[in-house]
Amino acid sequence: MIREQNLFFEITTNHTSYWFHILPSGHPEHLYYGPRIEAGADAERALADRPVYLGGNGISYSKEYPLVGLEELCLEFSALGHGDVRDPFVTVLYPNGSPVSDFLYEGYQIRDGKSGMQTLPSAYAEEDHQDNRGNAPDCVQELTLTFRDRNYGTVLELIYAAFPDCDVITRRSVLRNEGSRAAEVQRLMSLQLDLADSEYDWHTFTGAWAREFNHQTDRLHQGRFVSESRCGLSSSMNNPFVMLTRPNTTETAGLCYGFNLIYSGSHQEEAEVNAYGKTRILTGIQPDGFSWKLEPGEELEAPEAVMTVTDGGFGALSRSMHRFVRHHIVRGAWKDRERPVLLNSWEAVYFDFNEEKLLEMAKTAADTGIELFVLDDGWFGRRNDARSSLGDWYVNREKLPGGLGELAEKIHSLGMQFGIWVEPEMICVRSHLYEEHPDWAVAVPGTIHSEGRNQRILDLTRQDVRDYIVQAMSDVFSSARISYVKWDNNRIFTDLFSAAGTRPGEFLHRYCLGYYEVMDRLVHAFPDILFEGCASGGNRFDLGVLCYMPQIWASDDTDAVCRAMIQTGMSYGYPMSVISAHVSASPNHQTGRYTPWATRFGVACFGMLGYELNLASLSEEEKQMVQRQIAFYKEHRKTFLSGDYYRLVSGREDDFEKGIWQWMCVAEDQSEAIGFFLQRQFVPNMSAAFFRTQGLDEHALYRFRDFQVGSGLGNEEDFTLSGSLLDHAGVRLTQAYAGEGRKPGTRYFSDAASRLYVIEKAE
Ligand code: DGJ
């Protein structure tokens, strides 16, 4: 619900409140964002800044308002100049050479529902959603505030949308040039949140290729703390999802804010503590290097930012974000549809395949219950390694004489669907496409070009290039019965240049807009295809991609122990339903680690399950085990897709005893839950472990059992217990083996061993 009274604004979700008011000077002062509160008669006065003097060297806004010191105030947005020396929300360089703005309040509008955006993907209000608990859809409302620069006629809109059921508020901004001359926008952020103190920890998710989503924590103090990408993609270096918490916040208690951005390009999230101990959060497009020419009458939209807050700790925050992503970001035919269990050819055969080899694998896949066969890289042009052919999207007849169409039909006749890998944004110099259109590649003419994986980026700021990609992909997607597409992207931007003259300061954002235009056209032309995003794994894992593709390949690291860390990091901001995870070979191809089947399967279950190894080379016993794993997954797939996720214990890399992960997901109707326990390294003679659940129906009885496939062991645990006992006391697990021989009744736990627990409501 959004309300205004005498320019005091309240945005309320089921469990949160967001308040601000407009000062007589025309500046919007932020008053509160946190767990839901009710306003008493003096609420506004109690929360507002009430200066009676400004500090010694403080700047006062104007003679008319001498006590408005913008440096001290908590503001809904700030611009360069007039005293606020923190990083600004918006900076415009005006035709007279001045970067100083003076935006003042002009008006507001509240409406039911939510508007879309012109150029960017955005969250949407569901109209017909009804979840299993019978909850009605969110009543989404939107507030637009307008501010006009008193000197130049530029207009800034701040747009807030409230999603009550998910406890999410989104924010975005639009800048319009209503002046008579062009201006240069040097930054336009999406969200600014000024908080009154700085007793906070700043949580970011950092990484690199094959080791994405490390959870980092910094205690704030005076200065700037920045999480950002400058490489043109949202990146595996710093994900746009960040959190701010009180220092004592845990999984189940404590104040916790979460922020994300519906954007796939370079971005920046910043926490700045100023000289007065106020904390400013800013999120949006990376301002460094950004500059956008705004002609009279034009407007620029900043991406939509997402925020939520709870006093229920990290766990509650994650579940709000998960619900929001599932209901208001992911869309299309596959939104709530159960995703097929797939076999991907990449780590099974890499580039080394022909039709016979693929069909041999496909036959075994079909026998084990796999539903979708995905042909990864290597099927087109002369692509026998990573040195050539990106851009030549026609089938390699030496490998596949009957083309994709014939292969797809053979796969379908085995009872599976067929999917394909593409990397359409790229071009290799060794390709026919490059021979025909060298100027379509992003490269500085006459200089050496620094390549990544032997490839260059196609200039998606150009309409002719976008049209080519849409046409080439439409031809591929309609050349065979294709139900799934893995859309990869394997290099970052460094040497920027557009032969079409796109301005350097606009290039990265225009590229991102071009990528969205291409995706938009293709998902509408092929509404039944399940698209999976990928960028060398998680190098473009963000809410922008998820507006087009319901799931993303999480990491090129398929080692189950590494994946436990990566997927735990992801789970803070993203639901299991968007995390694509595969069972791969042991020893693992990235780490050389030997990992039990049960662990590879257990970790991949807490995502959208696939296999990525040569199934045809397995023993009969192993094939039967895979078959039983897949049957188990299918039985509980809905719980993994739409259940509530809990991090019960989060292991840490550097601590042997704490190298334990316990996860759990609970079906929406609480009829069942699946638990998972993984121990990175076996430590002898540890005290008995507990499995303590969360989120069960406390008044119901549950049967708690372990699920083991291929261990040759019987059930270790079998209890009928109340939900309240499981949630509050937990189950003491069978004693672990400790070096006096493996006795019946001990829990055998080698390095990287794990268990899945099935917790089902008992009649
Ligand atoms: C990078 C992806 O992340 C891998 O899964 C695989 O598709 C390769 N590219 C193929 O080149």
Could you identify the atom of ligand 1 that is nearest to the CA of residue 386? 11
Give me the sign of the Cα torsion angle 38, 44, 49, 52: negative
Q: How far is the CA of 407 from the centre of ligand 1 (A)?
A: 21
Asked if 755 and 708 touch (Cβ cutoff 8 Å), the reply is yes
d(C-alpha 506, C-alpha 511), whole Å:
8
Burial class (CB in 10 A: 0-12, 13-18, 19+), 213: buried
Residue 743: the pLDDT is 76
Q: Average the pLDDT over 680-704 and give the result.
A: 91
Token readout for 142 is 């939107």
CB neighbours of 249 closer than 8 A, spacing ≥ 6?
201, 255, 256, 313, 314
pLDDT at 133 over 70: no
**Cα of 488 from ligand 1 centre, angstroms:** 7
- Give the C-alpha separation, 538 to 532, whole Å: 12
Residues in contact with ligand 1 (CB, 6 Å cut-off):
346, 376-377, 421, 488, 490, 534, 536-537, 553, 556
In CATH, the architecture of 342-553 is: Alpha-Beta Barrel (3.20)
Q: Which is the catalytic residue, given 102, 165, 459, 556?
A: 556
Average pLDDT over residues 736-755: 81
- Ligand 1 midpoint to CA 613 (Å): 14
Rounded to the nearest angstrom, the distance between the alpha carbon of 150 and the centre of ligand 1 is 52
Whole-number pLDDT of residue 712: 52
Q: Quick one: pLDDT band at residue 656, thresholds 50, 70, 90?
A: low
What's the gap in Å between 361 CA and the centre of ligand 1? 19
pLDDT at 380: 98
Averaged pLDDT score across all residues of the chain: 95
- Residue from 642, 521, 482 nearest 575 by CA: 642
- pLDDT by residue (tens digit) across 476-519? 999 999 999 999 999 999 999 999 999 999 999 999 999 999 99
Tokens in use for 671? Answer: 């009829």
Rounded mean pLDDT of 699-721? 84
Between CA 667 and CA 463 the distance in angstroms is 45
Q: Whose CA is nearest to atom 5 of ligand 1?
A: 556
Q: Kindly report which listed range (51-65, 126-140, 694-708, 730-744) carries the lowest average pLDDT score.
A: 126-140
Torsion of CA 719, 724, 727, 731, to 10 degrees: -30
Q: Whose CA is nearest to atom 11 of ligand 1?
A: 377
Q: Which fold has domain 645-761?
A: Immunoglobulin-like (2.60.40)
Instruction: Report the b/e string of 234-247 with b at 16+ CB within 10 A.
Output: bbbbbbbbbbbbee
Residues of the chain with CATH 2.60.40.1180: 645-761
Q: 451: burial class by Cβ within 10 Å (0-12, 13-18, 19+)? A: middle
Backbone angles phi, psi at 616, to 5 degrees: -65, -20
What are the E-state strand segments in 264-367? Answer: 267-273, 279-285, 292-294, 299-301, 305-310, 342-344
Distance CA 508, CA 528 (A): 30
* Cβ atoms 191, 281 nearer than 8 A: yes
pLDDT band at 711 (very low <50, low <70, confident <90, very high): low
Q: Give the per-residue pLDDT at 652.
A: 66
The string of pLDDT tens digits covering residues 177-212 is: 999 999 999 999 999 999 999 999 999 999 999 999
Which of 353, 380, 422, 556 gets mutated to test ligand 1 (max ligand atoms within 8 A of its CB)?
A: 556
Question: What is the atom index within ligand 1 of the atom nearest the CA of 556?
Answer: 3
Q: Is residue 167 flagged as an active site residue? A: no
DSSP secondary structure string for all residues of 586-614: SS-TTT-----HHHHHHHHHTSEEEEES-
Whether the per-residue pLDDT at 651 is higher than 80: the answer is no
Atom number, ligand 1, closest to the C-alpha of residue 486: 7
Tell me which residue has its CA closest to atom 6 in ligand 1: 346
- Taking residues 152-165, what's their average pLDDT? 97
**Residue 741 pLDDT more than 90?**
no
Specify the higher pLDDT residue, 352 or 736. Answer: 352
Model confidence pLDDT, tens digit, residues 266-304: 999 999 999 999 999 999 999 999 999 999 999 999 999
Alpha carbons within 13 A on the beta-carbon side of 45: 3
- Rounded CA gap, 413 and 302, in Å? 48
Q: Is 488 a catalytic residue?
A: yes
Q: Which of 159-168, 422-431, 645-654, 674-683 has the lowest mean pLDDT?
A: 645-654
pLDDT tier at 654, thresholds 50, 70, 90: low
User: How far does residue 555's CA lie from ligand 1's centre (Å)?
Assistant: 9
Distance 347 CA to ligand 1 centre (A): 9
The confidence score (pLDDT) of residue 687 equals 77
Report pLDDT digits (tens) over 243-273.
999 999 999 999 999 999 999 999 999 999 9
SS3 category, 204 = strand
Residues of the chain with CATH 3.20.20.70: 342-553
CATH number of 2-329: 2.70.98.60
Helix (H, G, I), strand (E, B) or coil at 734: coil
- Give me the pLDDT at residue 714, please: 62
β-sheet bridge partners, residue 217:
203
Residue nearest to atom 3 of ligand 1 (CA): 536
Q: Which ligand 1 atom sits nearest the alpha carbon of residue 376? A: 7
> Which residue minimizes the CA distance to atom 1 of ligand 1?
536
Q: Whose CA is nearest to atom 9 of ligand 1?
A: 536
Q: Which of 209, 212, 233, 346 to mutate to test the pocket of ligand 1 (most atoms within 8 A of CB)?
A: 346
**pLDDT of 129 higher than 60:** no
Q: Which of 211, 536, 545 to mutate to test the pocket of ligand 1 (most atoms within 8 A of CB)?
A: 536
**Residue-wise DSSP of 415-449:** T-EEEEEE-TTEE-SSSHHHHH-GGGB---TTS--
CA 651 / ligand 1 centre spacing (Å): 28
Calculate mean pLDDT across residues 590-600.
96
CB 733 within 8 A of CB 693: no
Q: Which two tokens stand for residue 677?
A: 């326990």
Q: Cβ(160)–Cβ(140) under 8 Å?
A: no
C-alpha dist (Å) from residue 344 to 3, 559, 674: 51, 16, 25
Q: pLDDT tens across 407-418, in order? A: 999 999 999 999
Ligand 1 centroid vs 339 CA: distance in angstroms?
20
Res 373 pLDDT > 70: yes
In sequence order, the β-bridge partners of residue 452 are 455
In which residue are the tokens 């394997």 written? Answer: 490
Query: 350, 420, 421, 588: which to mutate for ligand 1, most atoms within 8 A of CB?
Result: 421
Percent of the chain with pLDDT over 90: 91
Ligand 1 atom having least distance to the Cα of 537: 3
Asked whether 505 and 555 are in contact (CB, 8 A), the reply is no
The one catalytic residue among 84, 102, 488, 559:
488
Residue nearest to atom 10 of ligand 1 (CA): 377
pLDDT at 16 over 60: yes
For residue 352, report the distance from its CA to the centre of ligand 1, in Å: 14
d(CA 80, CA 559): 48
Q: How far apart are CA 216 and CA 233, in angstroms?
A: 20
**What is the pLDDT at residue 732?**
95
Q: Which of 490, 492, 549, 580 to mutate to test the pocket of ligand 1 (most atoms within 8 A of CB)?
A: 490
The pLDDT value recorded for residue 744 is: 77
Which residues of the chain form CATH 2.70.98.60? 2-329
Tens of pLDDT along 338-350? 999 999 999 999 9
CA dist., res. 700 & res. 723, Å (int): 6
